[in-house]
Amino acid sequence: MKESLGEKIYMQLIYVLLIVLAILCLAPLLHIISLSLSSKTAIETGQVVLWPVDLDTASYRLLFQGTRIGSAFVNSVQLTVVGVLLCMVMTIGTAYPLSRGYFAGRRFYTLAMIFTMLFSGGLVPTYLVVKSLGLINTYYALWLPNLVSTFNVLIMKTYFENLSKEVEEAALIDGCGEYRLIGRIVLPLSMPVIATLALFYGVGFWNAFMSVLIYINSSAKYTLTVLVQQMIQSQSLLVEQMRMDGVEQSLPDSIKSAAVIVMVLPMLVVYPFLQKYFVKGVMLGSVKG
């Protein structure tokens, strides 16, 4: 069908608007990258805008050698990887039975989980429970309360329900047991929604901030988000963390910018590989029929 002149103009305006919005979103990130890769003189004289001036990677070297950014990065990776694995196991283990029509009481359990989306215990009762279990200052205080997300369980449950019944029935007729059916049939067919929910959980754990401040007391266990926030908030703290001779004379802004890039880079690297599953996984897992 041929587009009218008005429709062509409308689409061109949409494209221009999207390009402008993309530039507005990318500009702050480009500015931070440029600050982290520019020389001290270029930053002090205000020459750095969107492109590095007098390329210099000293800020990254000083950041890793003079602060606890390396250990904080390892802490964030540990928190994220273990958290995603635990959450995915629990989410799959919860969603699969609820998606089976022969599971007794599945309506009751589904409604009970939905109830938790409307009402929660609150921050103080949750903290008291975590404290009574002796989980303060451990990553289990961050993992256990977030093992199952009702929203993610409902997405995966609906996805399981939409899988081909004929394929499952054929596998059962051939002698495939329940666990083998999950491992050989259901999970391979569910990779889009699994990748999508893994991305949800991963971003949540990687960006965890308030929960780390509440439950983690030891600075040695701080993640990147907390450490970078403290470095940005307090310049004196940043200077105190630097242990190299002459680091105090370096420009804190470039080091702070380098810390921000180190914090966001892993998610920027991982997201493109999972993006192809993102839309397909959410749409197929949330629309029934």
Q: What is the pLDDT of residues 107-155, one digit of tens each?
A: 888 888 888 888 877 888 888 999 999 889 999 999 988 888 888 898 8
Q: In this predicted structure, what is the pLDDT of residue 66?
A: 72
Find tokens 């283990």 and name the residue: 93
Q: What is the dihedral of CA 241, 243, 249, 255, to 10 degrees?
A: -50
Asked whether 87 and 151 are in contact (CB, 8 A), the reply is: no
Asked whether 84 and 198 are in contact (CB, 8 A), the reply is: yes
Confidence of residue 159 (pLDDT cuts 50, 70, 90): confident
Q: In this predicted structure, what is the pLDDT of residue 205?
A: 92
Token code pair at residue 268: 């920027």
SS3 call for 205: helix
Confidence of residue 4 (pLDDT cuts 50, 70, 90): confident
Q: In this predicted structure, what is the pLDDT of residue 124?
A: 87
CA geometry: angle 158, 155, 111, nearest 5 deg: 80
Greater confidence (279 vs 247) lies with 279
Q: In this predicted structure, what is the pLDDT of residue 249?
A: 47
Token code pair at residue 62: 């000083």
Nearest to 253 by CA among 44, 15, 27: 44
Asked whether 48 and 34 are in contact (CB, 8 A), the reply is: yes
Confidence of residue 69 (pLDDT cuts 50, 70, 90): confident
pLDDT over 90 for what percent of the chain?
Answer: 14
Find tokens 């305006």 and name the residue: 13
Segment 216-224 mean pLDDT? 88
How far is Cα of residue 261 from the mean position of the Cα atoms in its chain? 15
Q: Return mean pLDDT, the chain.
A: 82
Residue type at position 228: V
Token code pair at residue 183: 């491992």
Residue type at position 136: I
Poorest-pLDDT segment among 1-5, 164-168, 260-264: 1-5
Q: In this predicted structure, what is the pLDDT of residue 283?
A: 53
How far is Cα of residue 214 from the mean position of the Cα atoms in its chain? 19
* Separation between Cα atoms, residue 254 and residue 93, nearest integer Å: 46
Nearest to 221 by CA among 142, 130, 126: 142
Determine the length of the chain: 289
Poorest-pLDDT segment among 72-81, 157-166, 207-216: 157-166
Token code pair at residue 228: 């970078």
Confidence of residue 244 (pLDDT cuts 50, 70, 90): very low
* Separation between Cα atoms, residue 32 and residue 47, nearest integer Å: 13
pLDDT > 60? residue 11 = yes
CATH superfamily of 58-289: MetI-like (1.10.3720.10)
